[in-house]
Amino acid sequence: MTLAIFDLDNTLLAGDSDHAWGEFLVEAGIVDAERYRKANDQFYQEYLNGELDIHHYLSFALEPLAQHDTAQLMQWRQQFVDQKIRPIMQDKATELLDHHRHQGHTLMIITATNHFVTEPVAELLGIEHLIATNPEQVNGRYTGRVAGTPSFQDGKVTRLQEWLDYHNASLEGAWFYSDSHNDIPLLEKVCHPVAVDPDPTLQRLAQQKGWDIISLRD
């Protein structure tokens, strides 16, 4: 198979689903607004700066999942998708996905955002294969902890290699699209790295290395 791999936030989406989930929780009154918004914004800035401690962040981000039963969480998640995700979906991203489908490529999203948040987004985009940070569940309830390696920075390479080994596949001819310098470890592993509306650090590196640079912003 030839893989066409996509980062999700600020690549296929014109925004960050993880940060948007935090905003949704605040606006719905599910979390303490002042404390949660301040921390959510701070972690997002650390991510943009390349300074994020992923385990510290995940202890914060997964806490609300552990505080509510799964049925209630699923109801909120559907509202979140309708209110926060659909408005930041991009026509050009859909066209790009269709372009790879028509070439017979296997489509995948790989994202640091947790699986609970991103699963319905991958379904909306019609992408079967999703590698995301996995929140731990015990007896059908989220614990607030992470299961396995978070798919962030080098962790994306680790998680993808596990997937490749399981499926007896390789990165031969693979594409990877991302906006973020946090994804440089994986971009350097594929045959066709593409910077999508890149941050300044990735923009400079892509120009130095001669990588394709594109925009999906409508």
Q: Which residues are catalytic?
A: 7, 9
- Are the CB atoms for 48 and 199 separated by under 8 Å? yes
Measured in degrees and rounded to the nearest 5, phi and psi for residue 112 equal: -75, -20
- Are the CB atoms for 192 and 176 separated by under 8 Å? yes
- Are the CB atoms for 54 and 186 separated by under 8 Å? no
- Residue 68, Cβ density class (10 Å: 0-12 exposed, 13-18 middle, ≥19 buried): middle
- Are the CB atoms for 145 and 40 separated by under 8 Å? no
- Structure tokens, 78: 């559907």
Q: CA distances (Å), 168 to each of 108, 160, 162, in order?
A: 16, 12, 10
Residue 107: strand pairing partners = 4
Q: How far apart are CA 41 and CA 147, in angstroms?
A: 25
- Are the CB atoms for 109 and 148 separated by under 8 Å? no
Measured in degrees and rounded to the nearest 5, phi and psi for residue 67 equal: -95, -5
